[in-house]
Amino acid sequence: MELTIDYECPQCKKDSHQRFADISPGKMRKCAHCGATVVLTIKGLRGFERALEDYCRA
Ligand SMILES: [Zn+2]
């Protein structure tokens, strides 16, 4: 099972899933829709909490 985290694009407001393994300092994730750099949001962190719970349960 892949641990993913939700990111929100500040430009087009679309959510995108990113693999947690890809999220590390110095790695910029880009929106698949408009190419803007996506940022981690509180909402994304909440989603991550759920993803982590599922991950630990599996
Ligand atoms: Zn976008």
Q: How far is the C-alpha of 40 from the C-alpha of 6, rounded, in Å?
A: 7
Predicted local confidence at residue 56, as pLDDT:
92
Digit-coded pLDDT (tens) for 1-58: 778 887 778 889 887 777 877 766 667 778 888 988 877 777 777 877 888 898 899 7
Distance 57 CA to ligand 1 centre (A): 32
Environment class of residue 48 by beta-carbon count within 10 Å: exposed (0-12), middle (13-18) or buried (19+)?
buried
Q: 34 lies in which domain range?
A: 4-57
The reported pLDDT for the residue numbered 25 is 66
What is the count of structural domains for the chain?
Answer: 1
Q: Separation of 37 CA from ligand 1 center, angstroms?
A: 8
Q: What distance in angstroms lies between residue 6's CA and the mean position of ligand 1's atoms?
A: 13
